[in-house]
Amino acid sequence: MFLYLECRNYGITLDLPATSNDAASTILDLTAGFENEPVQIKISGVNGPIPNLYPYIQHADLEHEADLQKLNALDERISSMTPEEQRLFSGALELEYTGDLDDAVRIAGSLERYEIFPKIKTDADLGRFLVDTAFMTGKFSFPEEAKPYLDYAKIGAEQRDTLDGVYTPHGMVRRREEVPVQAETPRAMLLALTASGQSYPLALPASEKQLDHAKRTLGIEDLSQAAISNVEYVAPYLNRLIPTDCVSVENANEMAHCLQRIKTDGEMLKYCATLEVEEPSTFTEALDMAIDIDDYELISDNEREYGREALSRLGADDELLDTIDGYTDFDQLGRDTMEENGVRQTGYGLVRRLSKPFPGPKFGQTMM
């Protein structure tokens, strides 16, 4: 494995493992002619079998003996890996994305914490695997006759976050269940920050200590001085539902905390449905919806049941509902009540706003 180094648009390579003398000699060659000028040396790339290693090592200081030893140890560990282990390591880096050299060394030394499923690369693959293997601890099973009609992609999408895995070109990678998860809060978002020619991948939610580390790395006093060049979500469907206009690190961190709560409470589908209907024009509007998620309700698409629930809210008990069952068109009542409540059909289910009905097309028109 070797590193690409740059200084003043001039590049050179450094083979690993390298001694302090090797690094010093390479840096001397790279900075020749600029001895009396302040120069910035940066690692601009890495060539090796792990394609996504660069974000982890880009801020390593080659003039610092400890960082050089870590790079050498990482190179030695990667060289000793089998091709299968290298694929697993690459997936684990994507799963635990932090951009820190210490984390890369730690992950490389603890691959037993992770597992890879080579045949699972999409939501549909995951859904089919879960159904065929009853992987979800026997919570439910499907008869063979029903399997040709199942929406495997939807099953996989709904379970992906629960399994806490990521898709890679080599398959899905996830933490092994029997191994304790890191004490840190699981990430919900990833920001790509840039300032003064430096870049920094910031996983959110982040603690004050982590935010301070980002500022030190970028050489800025306030994160508002950094440009946000990219925003990504662990739940990939949020990338198209949440705009990036008016995003700030502070608001993004608050959004990440909201997404963690929404995920824990099992309300991610409701939030996605809300975003699809409300169509926020700015990141701030999407954040407000996440904060006010309790103002929305994801409902069953059973019109008959919705009609019965409407009468229940007016005081009718089960005995009365059963008595009038044969004399009441609950389906029509359900459709009328859905229209009155502003229920909207989305790709994530039926949703309504509790404080006031959604404006827009009638419910029946939305269903068409």
Q: What per-residue confidence (pLDDT) applies to 321?
A: 58
Output the pLDDT for position 311: 66
Residue among 255, 299, 305 at smallest CA distance from 277 = 299
CB 217 within 8 A of CB 198: yes
SS3 of 310, please? Answer: helix
The CATH homologous superfamily for domain 113-175 is Antirestriction protein ArdA, domain 3 (1.10.10.1190)
**Cα torsion 52, 56, 60, 66: sign:** negative
Give domain limits for the chain. Answer: 2-82, 113-175, 189-296, 300-367
Least-confidence region, from 22-31, 218-227, 307-316: 307-316
Upper half-sphere CA count for residue 196 (Cβ side, 13 Å): 11
| Alpha helical stretches, state H, 172-314 | 208-218, 238-241, 249-264, 268-278, 283-291, 303-313
Strands (DSSP E) contained in the chain are 2-7, 10-15, 42-47, 114-117, 165-168, 171-175, 189-195, 198-204, 227-233, 296-299, 344-346, 349-353
Q: What is the pLDDT of residues 98-129, one digit of tens each?
A: 667 888 988 998 898 899 999 999 989 988 88
Q: Would you say 242 and 233 are in contact if contact means Cβ atoms under 8 Å apart?
A: yes
Q: Specify the pTM.
A: 0.46
Does pLDDT of 75 surpass 60?
Answer: yes
pLDDT digits (tens, 9 = 90+) for 176-208: 764 333 334 567 888 889 887 777 888 899 989
